């Protein structure tokens, strides 16, 4: 299982040290940019699921491209 935690900088090192002490946990730090990208991808997948379920209306790709 993978878990993404958002921890204040001044508390992160203490928690990371505690987690690294557990033999069954592998901890890796990622950049804020990568964490933000992961969150945006998760939101996009959730939106796509809602569109497929008919709970959210999608826009045509042509309309989206015209905005750019």
Sign for the CA dihedral angle at 58, 62, 66, 68 comes to positive
**CA 38 to centroid of chain Cα atoms:** 3
Where in the chain are the domains? 9-67
Angle at 26 (CA atoms; ends 43, 31), nearest 5 degrees: 45
Nearest by Cα to 3 from 32, 37, 38: 38
Mean of pLDDT over the chain: 90
pLDDT at 68 over 90: no
The pLDDT-based confidence of 27 (bands split at 50, 70, 90) is: confident
């Amino acid at each position: 299982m993978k878990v993404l935690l958002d921890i204040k900088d001044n508390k992160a090192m203490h928690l990371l040290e505690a987690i690294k002490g557990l033999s069954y946990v592998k901890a890796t730090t990622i950049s804020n940019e990568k964490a933000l990208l992961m969150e945006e991808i998760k939101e996009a997948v959730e939106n796509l699921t809602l569109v497929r379920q008919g709970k959210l209306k999608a826009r045509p790709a042509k309309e989206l491209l015209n905005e750019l």
